Structure formats: structure tokens, C-alpha cells
């Protein structure tokens, strides 16, 4: 920490529910924030079935989950802050309140929605077979390598506040803090350094980040906060606490004629800003078709608040549970109808594109059947069945196989987010790009990568457009003073949207360079050819290095055509409707019939991610996703007891897999 920077430490609730009677000690509380006119977080969807609540930055009147921040102390060092925190005494009157937010009716439901085609009942009545499955997706923590944290520094000379925050969305943080503290955004700089992983947990606005910013203003100095691992497991956003009850109507031939689903999502005690506690329930309602042809459809979805840590998006949002329930439905139907599990999927996968689902999603293109067949061929299911039979005859260990086909919406912009009617509508991304007199390119993006290798990939996009080496390209991100306004990194969107903006901007810069080259080489701009760091006139070897063009554009504009803008600076934005990738995964597992212990022995992926700009980075993303999926299925679970006490508050209890539990992942594109 910088010299003179103080340390904040939060005092958190040790009870799931109770009325705050008193807070004594050297601390700041909600009363101090109220007296200073600090606002409350409001994460809202403008629809009649959504319950909106306003969240104070520190608990006021009552607590609603173990780990909720009640007060904060500030010390000259981390050790002093810990000592001060121990001096704070919070008196709670514990109660048996059943409603998380009693002022909002007699239910904990915060969103209830339904989408149905008109003829769903008739389709179910006439189906040859009705197959029902229940899937419980237990609560999970994102568990980033580095926990959340922030520093806020008030500059007494300029009156500006500089915030370094572990966030995936620095511009959202800047806007929210400006609104809550009633100060101009121009007086706030938010910097998101390398954040040590996010996976969605660092996307919503953190109450603590706002409090730390307020403390820096109050104390006219610098304040730092970092949560420990126990706080991260207890108080940082959870995810995936869902139950899916899915009924499928099938013909005797295995055609899926109807889906009828009831989905319940535990969304915790508070709504997350800006995506709200409706994000998982509504995602589930809209994408329950998956990659399959479904003409008759009904999904009822419900989000219910509880006395637990709030829930926010985590990698994939509701899609892992959607996919798992659909694939379980397919396997159950295959067994009942005595159809090969690969074949029943093949009969129902979408094959004609573009395909519009009953909920309005447009599957623009895909290789659903081809990916399934590629995965099955590589896995060699027939050979596995022979080994499986032999293992069953021996009695131990048993072998199992799982097949999962899915489509994933990626890169969706304002047109999709606008349908959600959130308090803010994210979507687009912008880029500013300039080439300096030495021929080096700087591209500033609003997206804020946190370990995906986006900087490398975007540099490749620019290098390909301008025919220069990637070493001459710098990507600027995560700094609201230097980057254009953007929505950060989430929802598998960064390369599609930020990459699209970069591609457009690089095209504009190429056109500017061609204009300069045409003047210098006395040629037509359309005849300028870019290759290997040089431009030449088509059909000749007459040319000039691109770096020399950059020098001319800045230092010798007299050589350009009259009216040509000086310098080489461009900007662009991109706001697409989105696209869909698809894949098929196959897992082989070994099961001990006496203990139930399950080991993943083999994992095959056939992925269609479109054009791979950097295959190594793509494969790394796939492997990371598979590891987190295995963790969700077999290892990690956030557990509460009946009184709302969290039982998995340390890594002694919460069980992430290690490299030893993850098999080699065989990837085919």
C-alpha cells in the first residue's frame, strides 16, 4: 500500500436475520452514510412482476444474511484495523422473520414470469410419452484466485478521487459511485488492474467499493480494503442455487414435441446492480429450448429472496443448469424409448439456419449435428460400451458416460439487453485508436479483460488489418480516464463486441494510412497494398514503410492533400444483436459402487466457436470452463444450515478441484 494509506475493515453479521438494536465502537454505520446523504443501490427491472428493493451500503435496521456488512472501521495499518474491528459491539435481536423484505407483501418471490405457446396443453396431451426430470443446481462460489478489494485516494489539490478496484466493469463502478455519492463522474477515475479472475463475481457493484470511496472523501485521504478468503466465500456473490422441474413430450420415434418447465431460483437477500436478481430466472425462461427444435413450450420461472448471500451472474449464468436438465431429459427419454442417446439428440437438434426459437432467439448459424458426430467419433462410443460391459461384469469400478450438446448466445448487445428493461441498458462497446509518429498503435477499449488473453487477441486483429507486427500495438483497458465508456467484460461478449469495434476502427485507420500513402506515392488510395509493415502501389514495388507514413501524417502534413486531417486517430463502436456458438462435450467417469466416489477419466470437446483468432487462447478458455463445470457437478457447494449459518466459509470446507481431479481435455474444432 502507498505511504499514508489507511485500511478499512468491515464488521459483518454473524446471524442470518435479526434486528439491529445498537452498534457501539469506533466505527462508521448506516447512520453516518445517511447523515452524509449517501444514496442506496437500486437494481431494477421495469416490469410489473419484479419486486424492487433499495439496498443500503451498510445494513440499516436489520441484517439479512451471515456476512452482511454492518459497520466499518479505519486504521492506520491492517493490524490496527483488525484491533479496532474487535472493539465494535453489535447487538442484534434475533428473530424468526420469514420474509426477507417484509414491506413487499407476504411472499419472498421477487420475480415471477411465464412464457407459453398457445397450444402447449394440447401438445402435452397428445404426446406419446411424457418424460419428467428434476435437476438441482446447488449454490456455488466463483472463487477467483484473488478476492475482491479496492483502494480510494482523494487528491486534495484537484478534488479528484482515484479508485483502484477489483472489478470487471470499471465504468459501471464510476457511474454508480458518482450517483450514490452525488459527485461528478469527471471527478472520479476508476482503474481495474489485473484482478486475479472474476468469472462474474466481480461484475456487480460491490457495496464495499462505494463505502471505501466515501471514506476517502470523508477523511480526505487514502483508504484500502481487501477481503480475506472467508469473507469472499461468505459475503461475495454466490450463484447457481436453482431447481429445474422439466417435462418433455416425445413421440414414439423420439421427437421432442413439447417442453414444460418450472424453474425456481434462490437469489439471496439483495438484488445485484445493474443486472438484478432477475438475471438467472429470466435467462432460464428465455433459453430453455437449448439447441433443440421445440415448437410447443411453457416455462414458469420464479426468483425467491432468502436469508443468504446475494446471487449474481457466474460463468454461463443459468445455461449450465438449462443444459444439464435438457440433457438429462434426453437421456431419460432415450432409455425409456430404447433409442441410442446420440441418435435421439441427432433427431432433435436444429439443422436449418437461421432458426428462430419460440422465445424469439435467433440461432444464426451452427454445426449442432456435426459437433455431436465429431465428438462421438473421437470418443468412440462403441469401444466404450465394450469396456463398460466388462466393468459391469467385474462389479467394480463402474463406468459411465455423459453427452451434452449446447448452444450458447454470445456477443449480444443493446438489442437483446433492451428487452430486459433494466435500469441501465448495456450492450455496445467503443474503441479509440491512434498511431503515433513512430508507427506504434494504441487502442483504448471500454471492455475490461480479467485474464482471458483479450489484449493479445485484439492486438492480432489490429495487426492483421494494418500489416504490422503485434509488438507495435498497445491495448489500453480498465482505466476510465484513458478508455472510452464501455460495459466491461461478461457474457462471452468481449471478443465479439470489443473485437468488432476494434476491427472497424482498424479499418478506419487503414483507410487513413492509405490516404496518406496515396498522397506520398502519387497513387490512388484504392491501389495501396499493405504487407509486412509496408505499403506499396499495387503491381509495383514502389512503397514506403508504414512507420514513415505515421511520421508524415504528424510532422509533414504539407505533403498531404489539402483538407486531409492531421494525425492518425480514429474511433468506432459496435453493437450487434449477438451470435451463437455450439459444442458437444462427452465425459467418461469411473464410479466406486460401494462409496459412490466418482472420478472423471476422460473428457472430449467438439467445439464450433467460429473463426479462431488465437486457437491457444480459445483452448485455454474451453479447458477453464470444463474445469469449472466439473467443479460445479462433483466438488463445489456452498452449504447453509437451517438457521442460515454458512458451513463452507473456508477452503477446508469448500472443495475446489485441483489439477489432479481434472483429466486431460481432448479438444476438436
325, pLDDT greater than 80: yes
Cα 404 off chain centre by: 21
User: Does residue 492 sit in helix, strand or coil?
Assistant: coil
2, pLDDT greater than 80: no
Per-residue pLDDT, 451: 85
What is the distance between the alpha carbons of residues 340 and 489, in angstroms, rounded to a whole number?
40
Q: pLDDT tens for residues 104-149?
A: 889 999 999 999 999 999 999 999 999 999 999 999 999 999 999 9
Q: Taking residues 369-373, what's their average pLDDT?
A: 98
What is the distance between the alpha carbons of residues 614 and 250, in angstroms, rounded to a whole number?
41
Ordered by where they begin, the domains of the chain are 6-97+143-235 (3.30.365.10), 238-413+577-668 (3.30.365.10), 428-574 (3.30.365.10)
Of how many residues is the chain composed? 669
What is the distance between the alpha carbons of residues 290 and 248, in angstroms, rounded to a whole number?
13
Q: pLDDT tens for residues 613-649?
A: 999 999 999 999 999 999 999 999 999 999 999 999 9
Q: pLDDT tens for residues 471-526?
A: 999 999 999 999 999 999 998 899 999 999 999 999 999 999 999 999 999 999 99
16, pLDDT greater than 90: yes
Terminal CA-CA length for the chain: 45
What's phi and psi for 81, nearest 5 deg?
-60, -40
84, pLDDT greater than 80: yes
What is the distance between the alpha carbons of residues 407 and 512, in angstroms, rounded to a whole number?
39
Closest CA to 191 of 164, 222, 168: 164
Contact 296, 257 (CB under 8 A): yes
Place of cell 466463483: 142
What is the distance between the alpha carbons of residues 91 and 19, in angstroms, rounded to a whole number?
9
Place of cell 436438465: 325
Percent of the chain with pLDDT over 90: 97
Q: How confident is the model at residue 157 (pLDDT cuts 50, 70, 90)?
A: very high
Q: How confident is the model at residue 1 (pLDDT cuts 50, 70, 90)?
A: confident
Contact 415, 577 (CB under 8 A): yes
Amino acid at each position: 500500500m502507498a505511504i499514508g494509506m489507511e485500511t478499512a475493515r468491515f464488521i459483518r453479521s454473524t446471524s442470518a436475520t435479526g434486528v439491529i438494536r445498537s452498534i457501539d465502537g469506533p466505527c462508521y454505520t448506516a447512520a453516518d452514510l445517511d447523515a452524509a446523504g449517501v444514496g442506496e443501490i437500486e437494481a431494477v427491472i421495469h416490469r410489473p412482476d419484479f419486486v424492487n428493493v433499495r439496498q443500503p451500503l451498510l445494513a440499516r435496521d436489520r441484517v439479512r444474511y451471515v456476512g452482511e456488512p454492518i459497520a466499518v472501521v479505519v486504521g492506520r495499518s491492517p493490524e490496527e484495523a483488525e484491533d479496532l474491528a474487535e472493539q465494535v459491539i453489535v447487538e442484534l435481536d434475533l428473530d424468526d422473520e420469514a420474509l426477507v423484505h417484509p414491506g413487499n407483501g407476504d411472499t419472498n418471490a421477487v420475480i415471477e414470469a411465464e412464457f407459453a405457446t398457445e397450444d402447449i396443453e394440447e401438445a402435452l396431451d397428445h404426446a406419446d410419452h411424457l418424460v419428467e426430470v428434476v435437476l438441482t443446481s446447488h449454490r456455488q462460489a466463483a472463487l477467483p484466485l484473488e478476492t475482491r478489494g479496492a483502494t480510494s485516494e482523494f487528491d486534495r489539490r484537484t478534488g479528484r478521487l482515484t479508485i483502484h478496484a477489483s472489478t470487471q466493469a470499471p465504468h459501471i463502478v464510476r457511474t454508480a459511485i458518482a450517483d450514490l455519492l452525488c459527485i461528478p463522474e469527471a471527478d472520479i477515475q476508476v482503474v481495474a488492474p489485473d484482478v486475479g479472475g472474476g468469472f462474474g463475481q466481480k461484475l456487480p457493484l460491490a457495496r464495499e467499493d462505494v463505502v471505501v470511496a466515501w471514506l476517502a472523501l470523508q477523511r480526505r485521504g487514502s483508504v484500502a480494503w481487501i477481503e480475506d478468503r472467508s469473507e469472499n466465500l461468505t459475503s461475495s456473490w454466490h450463484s447457481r442455487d436453482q431447481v429445474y422441474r422439466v417435462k418433455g413430450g416425445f413421440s414414439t420415434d423420439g421427437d421432442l414435441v413439447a417442453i414444460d418447465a418450472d424453474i425456481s431460483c434462490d437469489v439471496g437477500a439483495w438484488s445485484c446492480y445493474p443486472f438484478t436478481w432477475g438475471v438467472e430466472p429470466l435467462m432460464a425462461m428465455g433459453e430453455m429450448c437449448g439447441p433443440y427444435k421445440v415448437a410447443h413450450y411453457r416455462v414458469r420461472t420464479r426468483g425467491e429472496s432468502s436469508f443468504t448471500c446475494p446471487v449474481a451472474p457466474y460463468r454461463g449464468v443459468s445455461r449450465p443448469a438449462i443444459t444439464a436438465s435438457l440433457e438429462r431429459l434426453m437421456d431419460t427419454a432415450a432409455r425409456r424409448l430404447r433409442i441410442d442417446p446420440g441418435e435421439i439428440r441427432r433427431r432433435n437438434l436444429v439443422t436449418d439456419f437461421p432458426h428462430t426459437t419460440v422465445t424469439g432467439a435467433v440461432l444464426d448459424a451452427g454445426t449442432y449435428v456435426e459437433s455431436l458426430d465429431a465428438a462421438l467419433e473421437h470418443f468412440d462410443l462403441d469401444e466404450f460400451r465394450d469396456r463398460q460391459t466388462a466393468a459391469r461384469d467385474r462389479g467394480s469400478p463402474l463406468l459411465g458416460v455423459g453427452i451434452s450438446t449446447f448452444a450458447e448466445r454470445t456477443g449480444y448487445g443493446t438489442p437483446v439487453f433492451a428487452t430486459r428493461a433494466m435500469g441501465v441498458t448495456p450492450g455496445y462497446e467503443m474503441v479509440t485508436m491512434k498511431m503515433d509518429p513512430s508507427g506504434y498503435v494504441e487502442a483504448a477499449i471500454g471492455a475490461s479483460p480479467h485474464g482471458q488473453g483479450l489484449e493479445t487477441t485484439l492486438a492480432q486483429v489490429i495487426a492483421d488489418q494494418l500489416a504490422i507486427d503485434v509488438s507495435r500495438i498497445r491495448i489500453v483497458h480498465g482505466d476510465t480516464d484513458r478508455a472510452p465508456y464501455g460495459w466491461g467484460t461478461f457474457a462471452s461478449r468481449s471478443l465479439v463486441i470489443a473485437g468488432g469495434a476494434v476491427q472497424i476502427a482498424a479499418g478506419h485507420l487503414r483507410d487513413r494510412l492509405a490516404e496518406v500513402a496515396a498522397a506520398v506515392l502519387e497513387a490512388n488510395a484504392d491501389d495501396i497494398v499493405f504487407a509486412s509493415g509496408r505499403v506499396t502501389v499495387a503491381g509495383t514495388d514502389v512503397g514506403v514503410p508504414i512507420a514513415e507514413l505515421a511520421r508524415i501524417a504528424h510532422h509533414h502534413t504539407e505533403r498531404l492533400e489539402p483538407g486531409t486531417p492531421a494525425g492518425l486517430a480514429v474511433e468506432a463502436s459496435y453493437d450487434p444483436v449477438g451470435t451463437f456458438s455450439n459444442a458437444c462435450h462427452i465425459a467418461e467417469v469411473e464410479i466406486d459402487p460401494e462409496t459412490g466416489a466418482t472420478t472423471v477419466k476422460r473428457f472430449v470437446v467438439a467445439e464450433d466457436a467460429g473463426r479462431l483468432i488465437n486457437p491457444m487462447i480459445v483452448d485455454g478458455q474451453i479447458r477453464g470452463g470444463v474445469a469449472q463445470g466439473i467443479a460445479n457437478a462433483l466438488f463445489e457447494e456452498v452449504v447453509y444450515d437451517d438457521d442460515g449459518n454458512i458451513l463452507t466459509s473456508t477452503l477446508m470446507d469448500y472443495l475446489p478441484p485441483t489439477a489432479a481431479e481434472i483429466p486431460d481435455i481432448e479438444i476438436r474444432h
